[in-house]
Amino acid sequence: MFSVESQKVSGIFERVFKALVCHCEEPLTYLWGRRSNLLQTVFPGERHALRACDDMKMSGTFWSAARFCILSFFFFCIACDGHNKPTYEYMPNMMDSRSVKAQEAPMRTPVAGTIPQGFAPYPYKLGEGSIAAVNLKNPFPKTKENLLKGQKAFSTYCIVCHGERGLGDGTIVPKFPRPPSLTSEKIMQWADGEIFHTMMVGQNLMPSYATQMSPQDRWAIVNYIRVLQRANNPREEDLKKLNEELEGPK
C-alpha cells in the first residue's frame, strides 16, 4: 500500500511516462528496430501506431508495473546520489546490527575457583533473611543523590505493586492479592539487609529481582523505603520541623 504522498508522486510519473511513450517519435521503433516482429504484431503500421496510444486503454497491471519500476528507480537515485551527505537507509537496524561470526565461541563456564568480572556471588538463599539481616550492611548513605536514585528505581520496579507511597495499593493490586505495606510496623522493624535480601531472592508472591536490579539500585531502594516509612509515620521532631518550615523565619 502506498501513502497519499507516494500516490501523488506515482501519478505525476505516470503522466510523464505516458506522454513520453505516446508522443515521442516512434520510441519503441528506435529501441526495437523497424523490422521488429513484436512491434509489427502489437502495433500494425509501425509509423503511426504509437500515435494511437491516447485512444488505447492500457491495462491496470501495466500501469502498476510502470509505477513500481519508476518509483523504485526514483528511490534508488535518492539513496545513491553520489554526494558525501548521509543517504536514506532502508531498515537501518539491520544495516547497523552486529554480525555474528560463524564458529564464534559462546560464553564458557568459568574455571573452578575463579569469579567472572563484574559478578558478585550471593551466599544467602530463600528463607535466610534473618542471616542476611545480620551480615549485610548498607554501604550507601542517605544522601540526596542516593535517595533520588532510589526513588527512580522504586518507580521503575516497585510502584506497580506497592504503590507510590509504599502502602501496597499499586495498579496491579485489583488483579492479584494485595502486597504488604512497606510502611507497616513489621517491615519497619526489618534491618536493611533483610529488605535487600527480599529483593534479591523474592518472598511469597514477590519474584526475585536479582537480574533486573544492580546491587546499587537495591540499596538505593532500601534507603528510599526508609524515607517512605518515616513520611507515613512521622516523629514528633519531624512534625515540629515541618511546622517551623511552614511558619517561616520569625
- Examine residue 8 and state whether it is found in any structural domain, yes or no: yes
CA angle 69, 71, 75 (to 5 degrees): 120
Question: Do 77 and 134 sit in the same domain of this protein?
Answer: no
- Examine residue 117 and state whether it is found in any structural domain, yes or no: no
Question: Do 139 and 208 sit in the same domain of this protein?
Answer: yes
Q: Cell match 568459568: residue? A: 110
Of 19, 51, 83, the residue that ends a domain is 83
Name the grid cell of 33. 528496430
- Examine residue 93 and state whether it is found in any structural domain, yes or no: no
- Examine residue 121 and state whether it is found in any structural domain, yes or no: no
In angstroms, what is the C-alpha Rg of the chain? Answer: 37
Question: Do 79 and 160 sit in the same domain of this protein?
Answer: no
Across residues 196-210, what is the average pLDDT?
A: 90
Considering only 4-18, 127-141, 206-220, which range has the smallest mean pLDDT? Answer: 4-18
Nearest alpha-carbon partner for 203 in 237, 179, 168: 179
Name the grid cell of 198. 527480599
Question: Do 76 and 144 sit in the same domain of this protein?
Answer: no
State pLDDT tens for residues 56-114.
445 556 667 777 778 777 666 665 555 555 555 555 555 555 555 666 666 677 788 77
End-to-end CA distance of the chain: 73
Question: Do 144 and 199 sit in the same domain of this protein?
Answer: yes
Q: Cell match 509505477: residue? A: 67
Question: Do 133 and 230 sit in the same domain of this protein?
Answer: yes
Residue 13: is its pLDDT beyond 70?
Answer: no
Q: Cell match 520510441: residue? A: 27
Helix (H) or strand (E) holding 23: helix 4-23
Q: Which amino acid is at 190?
A: W
Q: Give the burial class of 239: count Cβ atoms within 10 A of its Cβ; 0-12 exposed, 13-18 middle, 19 or more buried.
A: exposed
Q: Are 146 and 213 in contact (CB under 8 A)?
A: no
- Examine residue 114 and state whether it is found in any structural domain, yes or no: no
The CATH number of residue 155's host domain is 1.10.760.10
Nearest alpha-carbon partner for 223 in 151, 174, 131: 151
Question: Do 133 and 234 sit in the same domain of this protein?
Answer: yes
- Rounded to whole angstroms, the Cα distance separating 176 from 205 reads 9
- Examine residue 208 and state whether it is found in any structural domain, yes or no: yes
**Domain count within the chain:** 2
Q: Which amino acid is at 94?
A: M
CA 35 to chain centre: 62
Question: Do 64 and 138 sit in the same domain of this protein?
Answer: no
Q: Is the pTM of this model over 0.85?
A: no
Name the grid cell of 174. 485489583
- Examine residue 145 and state whether it is found in any structural domain, yes or no: yes
Helix (H) or strand (E) holding 81: none
Distances 143 to 16, 157, 162, 220 between C-alpha atoms, Å: 70, 21, 23, 10
Question: Do 79 and 12 sit in the same domain of this protein?
Answer: yes
Q: Comparing 173 with 194, which gets the higher pLDDT?
A: 194
Full domain range(s) for residue 191: 129-247
- Examine residue 112 and state whether it is found in any structural domain, yes or no: no
Q: Are 136 and 196 in contact (CB under 8 A)?
A: yes
State pLDDT tens for residues 119-144.
777 888 888 889 999 999 999 999 99
- Rounded to whole angstroms, the Cα distance separating 126 from 203 reads 8
